[in-house]
Amino acid sequence: MELHERKEIGTFGKLLLFLITAISIIIMFTIFFYLEDWRVENIQQDTAPEDIITSGMLACVEMGCPLGTKYIGSSMGEVYHDCITSQARSIKADNRVCFTSADDAIDKGYRN
């Protein structure tokens, strides 16, 4: 059995491999930056983006309030709470009053 001799990559082969790798990296970064610019230009972003989970909106919805609710108060009290707090969760479902903003709660006579 004859073993095939391993051929060495010559200088031209090494140069060609380097050029292909360099061009691939340049193309990859060009596409990445083009897509980033496109995203910034075409996807509308709020001035202060708010994650729905960390904002407490999801907690409010889980407690039966409409989407957009950020605060809950009790119809038996005069204090409003952020939906993610234990105080908000302790309010009985029948007594929950939902607010879209702190100003909304204050306008209805609640305090923080």
Q: What is the pLDDT of residues 51-97, one digit of tens each?
A: 555 556 788 888 889 888 889 999 999 999 988 888 998 999 999 99
How many domains would you assign to the chain? 2
At a CB cut-off of 8 Å and minimum separation 6, what does 6 contact? Answer: none
Task: Give the residue numbers spanning the domain of 63.
Answer: 57-107
Q: What percent of the chain has pLDDT over 90?
A: 38
Q: For residue 20, tell me if it sits in a domain.
A: yes
Q: For residue 2, tell me if it sits in a domain.
A: no
Q: For residue 87, tell me if it sits in a domain.
A: yes
Residues 36 and 67 in one domain: no
pTM: 0.51
Residue 67 DSSP code? T
Q: For residue 80, tell me if it sits in a domain.
A: yes
Residues 97 and 66 in one domain: yes
Residues 67 and 40 in one domain: no
